[in-house]
Amino acid sequence: MRGQEHLPAQVRMRQITEATLDLVAEGGVRGATVSRIAAKVGVSMPALYAHFPSKRDILLATLDLVFERIRDIHRSSPQTNALERLREIGRAHTRLVNSPTNDFVAALFEFIAAPPSEGLREALGASHLELVNDFAAIVREGQQQGTIVAQADPEQIAWLIVSRHWTEDVAQLTGTSDRWDEARSNQMLDFILASIASSEPQVDRTPS
């Protein structure tokens, strides 16, 4: 791209990963060839390899970008009440999945479907478990606050919430969101949260 030959390395790397994300969403991991990535960014192949030593490194950085967007959702709620923060995060995910500018869900499933030879599965698993751990940590915070019952299993609740997100993603990708719509999805979220909500007055039990 004219006038972009000397962009800072971090800016150029971001361009490369965003271009790769678009290509993966459109044609899968195999369709995101190095030559297509370079052409989409507007750089030469040697310039591309100056930032990433291999296609796998580009794909791993792009996968990080996908999960960065998901983690941004987790940080989107200012709620101090952990139970309500889980609700706001869940509804923010619903809005993002249904956004016309959403591209990360299609790309995420293309990464999941990538052949083992691409070497992405271990990174995918680690990133996915990180999301589960994030939710489990919020549940534990709620237990400390007294907004979530002490007997709730934080990891089980985390997996339930993540499963609800996966259901939304699959419905959107398969064109069945008219059957699994926003109202039904939020009803499932409310059902999960109602099962762990404490009926006792909130008492902050967090150690000072």
How does pLDDT run across 84-123, given as a tens digit for each residue? Answer: 999 999 999 998 888 877 777 888 889 988 888 888 988 9
Q: Is residue 199 part of a domain?
A: no
Among 31-35, 37-41, 174-178, where is mean pLDDT lowest?
Answer: 174-178
Contacts of 106 (CB under 8 A, 6+ apart): 25, 173
Please determine, for residue 202, whether its predicted confidence score (pLDDT) is greater than 70. no
Model pLDDT, residue 200 = 66
Q: Is residue 203 part of a domain?
A: no
Q: Is residue 97 part of a domain?
A: yes
Q: Is residue 49 part of a domain?
A: yes
Give me the domain span that covers residue 91.
9-194
- The reported pTM is 0.85
Position 86, amino acid: L
> Rounded to the nearest 5°, which phi and psi values hold at 138?
-65, -40
The CATH number for 151's domain is 1.10.357.10
Q: Is residue 207 part of a domain?
A: no
Q: Is residue 174 part of a domain?
A: yes
Q: How many domains does the chain contain in total?
A: 1
Q: What is the mean pLDDT of the chain?
A: 89
Looking at 159-206, which runs of residues are DSSP E strands?
Answer: none
Nearest alpha carbon to residue 62 among 123, 144, 116: 123
Q: Which residues, listed in sequence order, are joined to residue 148 by a DSSP beta bridge? A: 197
Q: Give residue for tokens 């290509």.
A: 23
Please determine, for residue 1, whether its predicted confidence score (pLDDT) is greater than 80. no
Alpha-carbon dihedral sign for residues 61, 62, 67, 68:
positive
Is the distance from CB of 28 to CB of 110 less than 8 angstroms?
yes
Please determine, for residue 5, whether its predicted confidence score (pLDDT) is greater than 80. no
Band the pLDDT of 157: cuts 50, 70, 90: very high
Band the pLDDT of 183: cuts 50, 70, 90: very high
Q: Is residue 200 part of a domain?
A: no
Eight-state DSSP code of residue 201: P
Q: Is residue 3 part of a domain?
A: no
What's the first-to-final CA gap in the chain, in angstroms?
A: 54
Band the pLDDT of 45: cuts 50, 70, 90: very high
Position 61, amino acid: A
Segment 76-80 shows an average pLDDT of 89
